[in-house]
Structure 1
Amino acid sequence: MASVCVDDDYFDVGPDGRLTMVPGSLGLRERLYFKETGTHEFNRGDYPWLARVFLQVQAAGGGAAGAKARAAEFMSAPGGAGGGYAERLVDASALGGTETIVVGKGGVAGTATVDGGNGGNSSFGGVCTANGGAGGKAVMESGSTLIAYSGTAGPLAGIGDIAQGGGAGGGCFRLTGNQGHAGPGGESRLGHGGFQRASTGEGGAGRGYGGGASGAVARDGDSVSGTAGQDGVVIVWLFG
Structure 2
Amino acid sequence: MARACVCDTYFTVDSDTGELCLKPGTMGLRRVLVFNDAGTHQFEKADYPWLARVRARVQGGGGGSAGANAAANQCIVRPGGAGGGYSESLISVASLGAVETIVVGAGGEAGTTVQGGGTGGSSSFGGFVQANGGDGGGAVQTSGTTDDVSSGVPAPLAGRGQFAQGGGPGGGAIRLNGTNGLSGAGGESFLGHGGYARAGEGGGNPARGYGGGAGGGLSYGGSVQGTAGGGGVVIVELYG
User: TM bucket by the smaller chain?
Assistant: over 0.9
* Offset at residue 15 of structure 1 (A): 5.0
**SS of residue matched to 2:200:** coil
Q: Distance in 1 between matches of 2:233 and 2:31?
A: 17
* Offset at residue 193 of structure 1 (A): 0.3
**Given residue 223 of structure 1, which amino acid in structure 2 is its aligned partner?**
S
**SS of residue matched to 1:129:** strand
Q: Which runs of 5+ in 2 are unaligned?
A: none
**SS of residue matched to 2:46:** helix
Following superposition of structure 1 onto structure 2, how do residues 201-240 of structure 1 map, counting pairs within 5 Å? 201-220=202-221, 222-240=222-240
Q: Distance in 1 between matches of 2:204 and 2:30?
A: 41
**Given residue 226 of structure 2, which amino acid in structure 1 is its aligned partner?**
G
Report what 1:27 is aligned to.
28
Q: Distance in 2 between matches of 1:111 and 1:161?
A: 38
* In the alignment, structure 1 residue 88 sits paired with structure 2 residue 89: yes
- TM-score, length of structure 2 as denominator length: 0.96
**SS of residue matched to 2:94:** helix
Q: Distance in 2 between matches of 1:109 and 1:95?
A: 37
**Identical-pair percentage:** 57
Q: Which runs of 5+ in 1 are unaligned?
A: none
* Offset at residue 170 of structure 1 (A): 0.1
Report what 1:98 is aligned to.
99
* In the alignment, structure 1 residue 61 sits paired with structure 2 residue 62: yes
* Offset at residue 12 of structure 1 (A): 2.2
Report what 1:125 is aligned to.
126
Q: Distance in 1 between matches of 2:114 and 2:183?
A: 14
* Offset at residue 213 of structure 1 (A): 0.2
* In the alignment, structure 1 residue 114 sits paired with structure 2 residue 136: no
**SS of residue matched to 1:93:** helix
Q: Distance in 2 between matches of 1:30 and 1:174?
A: 50
Report what 1:146 is aligned to.
147
Report what 2:41 is aligned to.
40
**SS of residue matched to 1:40:** strand
Q: Distance in 2 between matches of 1:72 and 1:29?
A: 60
**Given residue 5 of structure 1, which amino acid in structure 2 is its aligned partner?**
C
Report what 2:72 is aligned to.
71
**SS of residue matched to 1:89:** strand
- TM-score, length of structure 1 as denominator length: 0.96
Report what 1:198 is aligned to.
199
Residue-by-residue CA offset, 1:148-172 (whole Å, 9 max, x unaligned)? 1210011111111211111000001
**SS of residue matched to 1:145:** coil
* Offset at residue 14 of structure 1 (A): 5.0
**SS of residue matched to 1:199:** coil
Residue-by-residue CA offset, 1:51-102 (whole Å, 9 max, x unaligned)? 0011111111000011111122110110000011111111111100000001
Q: Distance in 1 between matches of 2:103 and 2:17?
A: 44
Residue-by-residue CA offset, 1:97-123 (whole Å, 9 max, x unaligned)? 000001110111111121100001111
Residue-by-residue CA offset, 1:3-49 (whole Å, 9 max, x unaligned)? 43221111124554744321111111111111111000000100011
Q: Distance in 1 between matches of 2:201 and 2:115?
A: 17
* Offset at residue 2 of structure 1 (A): 4.7
**Given residue 205 of structure 1, which amino acid in structure 2 is its aligned partner?**
P
Q: Distance in 1 between matches of 2:71 and 2:138?
A: 19
Number of positions where the alignment pairs a residue of Structure 1 with one of Structure 2? 239
State the 4+ residue runs in structure 1 displaced beyond 6 angstroms.
none
